[in-house]
Amino acid sequence: MGKANISSVDVKGKRVLCRVDFNVPIEDGVIGDDRRITEALPTLKSVLDRGGSLVLMSHLGRPEGKGFESEFSLKPVAERLGALLGRPVVFPSQDATDATAAAAVAALKPGEVLLLENVRFAKGEKKGDAEYAAKMASYGDIYVNDAFGTAHREDGSMFAVPKAMAGKPRVSGLLLEKELKFLGDALAKPAKPFVVVLGGAKVSDKIGLIENLLPKADAIIIGGAMAYTFLKALGREVGTSRVEEDKVAEAKRLIDLAAKLKCVLHLPTDHVCSDSFSESGDLEVFKGDIKPGFMGLDIGPETQGKYAMVLRRAKTIVWNGPMGVFEMRPFSQGTQSIGRAIAEATKNGAVSIVGGGDSAAAAEKFGVAAQMSHVSTGGGASLEMLAGKPFTTVALLD
């Protein structure tokens, strides 16, 4: 998208207001996975090493804008960030826009870092109102967007704040630039064969994405519960598998569109099934139709082999969504086999992009994340970008 990045701006003696995505899993004050923090470090170090100071904005979870809620506090993030940077991180108050926060921002010296409390504690964040935006905008001489995970949302800190900073530099961070490059290149000029792997529960989440990718992809591989809506559209018996009944006709339309556009749409031919949604139910593998009383919870061994063969020949791969209930051991093999096949293709020169969310979690769980070309930090954002939706938060950057 041709945006200026933080490296091209003189930050010496300047306060840089940077929107990051530190929405990390926290349980009992302990961070489970700090990848979103570590991925932002190159941008932060670029500012600090060149004599700038940092004011960081992030959300955590889904508080409702009613003020401070301890379970959604960014305090553990401030502590982890300080450890990673090897310097203290100022964490001023429970309100990002109060006098205490403003005074702490004003007192920042070059090389210092301040993390504001969760921006979603403020009503103005979701509404993006002018008073809130003006207060936050006053904290910086330069605005940086490095939060790809929320780039598809017009929240205050993503849209109203940079809008209020018109006339000042408004640039992308290095992580946002990397995300846009990988996902943008995958859409604009993919090396062929271009194979898309889609899984997860709902067809409805992926309709726009499938429509956007059908003219560009050589093959689309379907797994997860969404496969059963497609199979039902073809008249197959799917037992008690999850089906979006109101999307069966839409699935048939996409199957017909794939044939018309000469994109091969791969659907599972066998299924690992259970009579209950649990690890302890009766397990059975069905080829073709699924027996009444059983639900498909993973792709079967024949499908795993077929999908792996398609992936090994690919030159560009986008993976968004697991093949089954990978969190349960009996139904994890399909997703694991897909991850390994993509890692193998990458080793042989393919460009592989994992679209955040459950796919990223699965890639981490099965030890293949480090072997991929790029693992996105934004599940919903990568979905929307692959579906071809414009990001107004990116469009207003220089």
Question: Among all residues, which ones are annotated catalytic?
Answer: 36, 202, 357, 380
Pick from 149, 157, 152: which is nearest to 175 by CA? 149
Whether residue 196 contacts residue 219, with contact meaning beta carbons closer than 8 Å, is answered with yes
Per the CB < 8 A criterion, the answer to whether 316 and 191 are in contact is yes
- The whole-angstrom separation of Cα 74 and Cα 79 is 9
132 contact partners, CB below 8 Å, separation of at least 6: 97, 122, 123, 124, 125, 156, 160
Q: How far is residue 361's CA from residue 164's CA, in Å, rounded to a whole number?
A: 36
Rounded Cα distance, 157 and 115, in Å: 14
Q: For the chain, how long is the longest CA-to-CA vector?
A: 69
Q: Which residue has the tokens 């900073």?
A: 165
Q: What number of residues does the chain have?
A: 398
| Tokens, residue 3 | 């945006």
In the structure encoding, which two tokens stand for residue 48, read together?
Answer: 């600090």
- Those residues whose C-beta lies under 8 Å from the C-beta of residue 235, and which sit 6 or more positions away, are none
Q: Are 196 and 213 in contact (CB under 8 A)?
A: yes
Match 């969310």 to its residue by tokens: 357
